[in-house]
Amino acid sequence: MRSTKLPRVARNRWLTAAAVATAVVAADQLTKIAVSHWTARLPYWLLGGFGIELAHNTGISFGRLQGGGRPVMAAVAIVTIILVILMWRLPRRYRMPLALIVGGSLGNLIDRLRWGYVVDFVALGPWPNFNVADAAIVCGAVLVARQALRAAPVQDDDA
């Protein structure tokens, strides 16, 4: 009979990925709570166009699909589940980048379930406001792309 128990090294890697996702969710939620309590002092501009300005986003990335409501919530939940499955199936080099994306997705999903919108607060020049979860998603996506490009075979154009 074959054991379904993961070897210690694999189990530790999964625990590390879970810890990364949990840390992203915790940092995201804590910063949103802090900013939400400081609303009387906002906006707070640090340098030029960089500051803290509270915004409520009912849409998806960069303010698209505003007022999406339940369909957006359902889509985010489905994508998060797919990402967790991909973490299991893809080579381990994708595990930490996907953990960043899953943590960010869960952080924003918690907001959607709790308030019906995502709390954004980082104001950076002409960009739409964003939060810790959004930053983790972007960093994770860049790292996934980097890993994919690294693993892609190089083709010779002279052939």
Known active-site residue 156: no
Letter for the amino acid at 115?
W
Tell me, yes or no, if 134 is annotated catalytic: yes
Give exposure, 34-51, as e/b (b: 16+ Cβ within 10 Å): ebeeeeeebeeeeeeeeb
Q: Which two tokens stand for residue 68?
A: 């999406």
Which is nearest to 23 in space by CA: 136, 134, 120, 147? 136
Sign of the alpha-carbon torsion through 131, 133, 139, 141: negative
Give the active site residue among 111, 120, 156, 157: 120
Alpha-carbon distance values, 99 to 19, 107, 124, 149, 159 (Å)? 9, 12, 25, 19, 39
Supply the residues annotated as catalytic: 120, 134
